Structure 1
Amino acid sequence: MEMFDEEIKKPKAHEVGMPIDTLSVDELRERIGLLEAEIVRLKAGIEARGATRKAADAAFKF
């Protein structure tokens, strides 16, 4: 009976491909929000690198 007393621990972060069948609708929505925020962050990183490259290209043109 000790097994029922233990709290089931769910991972706090989402891993691509992880099983989701034990997650509630609210937990799924939360993970979608986290992933959408991560997409925005990654796109900003791409844009920042593009701006850095343009600046470097402009600096080395003679």
Structure 2
Amino acid sequence: MSFLDDDRPTKPTAHEIGSDLSMLSADELDSRIGLLKEEIARLEAEKERKTAGRRAADSFFRT
């Protein structure tokens, strides 16, 4: 990797929490809403996985 790689612009994130939404079209807003819903589902699935693991450990050590 050369030092020139540092000068390339970074790819903007799909959505940044708290960013200005006034310049986005309704289609762009729908796209971001979809991305955020997918991320929420991913977070909830991970939370459930961890909660299930915790329940299993609790029940194992209570016996």
- TM-score by structure 1 length? 0.74
- 1:46 correspondence with 2:41: no
Output one character per residue of 1:3-62: Cα deviation in whole Å (capped at 9) or x when no partner.
xxxxxxx93420110011111111110000000111111111111111000110112123
Equivalent residue number for residue 32 of structure 1: 33
Q: How many residues align structurally?
A: 53
Sequence identity, in percent?
53
SS of match in other structure, 2:16 = coil
Runs of 4 or more consecutive aligned structure 1 residues displaced over 2 Å after TM superposition? none
SS of match in other structure, 2:12 = coil
What's the C-alpha RMSD, in Å, of the aligned pairs? 1.6
- TM-score by structure 2 length? 0.73
